[in-house]
């Protein structure tokens, strides 16, 4: 179903987002955070745009736990605010893009249920920024069983939970196939609702397809390193990519080792961004640097697309991605500081 109707308040929304962008943490700030301990990081964040959340959650959390829950909830508040000041088809596009957080939250709740995690811990990790409200998500967390959660979720047509899918989760206890199903439905619907008839929305569609490429490549590399069989890898691949369609991905999954994957990456538009990380992987065999480089390449794509059409959904998308990366970076720094990892190791894990 394509997006039609009221055009949307692009100029106003882009101006609001531009004002917010100036508060994103700079590379210099990250360098300062790296030389602080966890408590110093907490005090610093208490003087920034994270002030309200740091204060609110300080009564029940401390240290890295406080930082993590505060920045995560700030992310949800930020996304909700952006959605609230958009109108028309712009609001529809932003809302559909934010549906990924419904997927994230469903996965988080089910993982918590399977691992018997305390309800408060599950709630603290949620990002209520999609169509599912915090009240609804809390109700899912409070349910007594995985079966009850799945029965409730099956009422949502957008999730397309068939009786077979529900039964597989409840009876086999396997989440991976269901999580793969959620990702496929998310991207399928997102591509379907983006009207490619204008230049800006066509670029948005291209960006989503590039995001699918990056998602598939990270999965493919991880599973090939783990030496999984080709037929098992195929189950985790999402259709709709820009440069790496399913046929190409299946061919790479069938190959011995990852040499053919690297050859394909060398011919891709991302190669300049990931070349150095590919070389490091050949030396140390550590995949984390390469997956981070793929994420960085996607960020640069979003920024470039946003510059092409400054009064479109693209600058808003660019900001939302950068905000998530900032929150992820802060969480990584806090958690790594709490475990005593050296700064040079932490820095390699950050997307900047």
Question: Which tens digits make up the pLDDT trace of 288-309?
Answer: 899 999 999 999 999 998 888 9
Residue 287's φ and ψ, nearest 5 degrees, are -80, -20
The SS3 of residue 322 is: helix
Q: Quick count: other Cβ atoms within 10 Å of Cβ 261? A: 19
Q: What is the pLDDT of residues 164-206, one digit of tens each?
A: 889 989 998 889 889 989 999 999 989 988 877 888 888 899 9
Report helix angle 313-339 to 88-97, nearest 10.
30
Q: How far is CA 200 from the centre of its chain?
A: 22
Of 78, 70, 28, the residue nearest 45 (C-alpha): 70
Q: Is residue 256 predicted with pLDDT exceeding 90?
A: no
Residues sharing a CB contact under 8 Å with residue 166, sequence separation 6 or more, in sequence order: 150, 151, 154
Average confidence (pLDDT) over 325-351: 95
The Cα–Cα gap between 66 and 56 comes to 10
The Cα–Cα gap between 211 and 204 comes to 10
The Cα–Cα gap between 124 and 66 comes to 10
The Cα–Cα gap between 204 and 304 comes to 11
Interior/surface letters 94-123, b for 16+ CB within 10 angstroms, e for the rest: bebbbbbbbbbbbebbbebbeeebeeeebb
Q: How far is CA 279 from the centre of its chain?
A: 26
* pLDDT recorded at residue 81: 97
* pLDDT recorded at residue 17: 97
Report helix angle 100-114 to 134-141, nearest 10.
20
Q: What is the pLDDT of residues 11-64, one digit of tens each?
A: 999 999 999 999 999 999 999 999 999 999 999 999 999 999 999 999 999 999
Q: Quick count: other Cβ atoms within 10 Å of Cβ 6? A: 11
Q: Are 179 and 193 in contact (CB under 8 A)?
A: no
Beta-carbon-side half-sphere exposure of residue 114 (alpha carbons within 13 Å): 15
C-alpha angle 264/278/245, rounded to 5°?
Answer: 25
Beta-carbon-side half-sphere exposure of residue 176 (alpha carbons within 13 Å): 7
The Cα–Cα gap between 247 and 316 comes to 33
Of 78, 139, 82, the residue nearest 105 (C-alpha): 139
Q: Is residue 159 predicted with pLDDT exceeding 70?
A: yes
Q: What is the pLDDT of residues 80-138, one digit of tens each?
A: 999 999 999 899 889 999 999 999 999 999 999 999 999 999 999 999 999 999 999 99
The encoded tokens of residue 341 equal: 């990892």
The Cα–Cα gap between 168 and 146 comes to 11
Q: How far is CA 297 from the centre of its chain?
A: 14
Residues sharing a CB contact under 8 Å with residue 302, sequence separation 6 or more, in sequence order: 207, 314, 317, 318, 321, 322
* pLDDT recorded at residue 94: 93
The Cα–Cα gap between 207 and 213 comes to 10
* pLDDT recorded at residue 134: 95
Q: Are 50 and 70 in contact (CB under 8 A)?
A: yes
Max Cα-Cα span within the chain: 54
């Amino acid at each position: 179903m394509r997006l039609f109707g009221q055009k949307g308040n692009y100029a106003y929304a882009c101006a609001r987002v531009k004002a917010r962008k100036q508060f994103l943490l700079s590379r210099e700030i990250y360098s300062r955070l790296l030389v602080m301990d966890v408590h110093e990081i907490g005090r610093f964040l208490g003087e920034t745009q994270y002030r309200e959340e740091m204060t609110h959650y300080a009564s029940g959390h401390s240290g890295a736990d406080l930082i993590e829950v505060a920045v995560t909830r700030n992310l949800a508040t930020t996304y909700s605010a952006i959605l609230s000041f958009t109108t028309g088809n712009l609001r529809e596009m932003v809302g559909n893009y934010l549906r990924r957080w419904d997927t994230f939250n469903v996965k988080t709740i089910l993982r918590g249920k399977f691992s018997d995690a305390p309800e408060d811990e599950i709630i603290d990790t949620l990002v209520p920024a999609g169509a599912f409200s915090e009240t609804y998500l809390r109700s899912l967390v409070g349910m007594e069983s995985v079966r009850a959660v799945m029965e409730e979720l099956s009422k949502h047509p957008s999730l397309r939970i068939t009786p077979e899918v529900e039964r597989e989760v409840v009876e086999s206890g396997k989440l991976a196939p269901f999580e793969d199903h959620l990702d496929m439905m998310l991207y399928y619907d997102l591509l379907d609702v983006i009207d490619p008839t204008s230049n800006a929305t066509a670029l948005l569609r291209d960006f989503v397809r590039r995001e699918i490429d990056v998602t598939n490549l990270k999965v493919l590399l991880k599973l090939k390193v783990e030496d999984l069989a080709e037929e098992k890898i195929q189950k985790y691949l999402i259709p709709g990519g820009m440069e790496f369609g399913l046929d190409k991905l299946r061919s790479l999954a069938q190959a011995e080792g990852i040499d053919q994957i690297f050859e394909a990456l060398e011919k891709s538009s991302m190669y300049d961004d990931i070349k150095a990380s590919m070389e490091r992987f050949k030396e140390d065999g550590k995949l984390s640097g390469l997956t981070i480089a793929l994420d960085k390449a996607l960020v640069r794509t979003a920024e470039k697309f946003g510059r092409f059409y400054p009064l479109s959904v693209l600058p808003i998308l660019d900001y939302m991605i950068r905000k998530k990366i900032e929150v992820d970076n802060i969480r990584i720094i806090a958690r790594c500081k709490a475990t005593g990892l050296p700064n040079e190791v932490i820095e390699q894990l950050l997307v900047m």
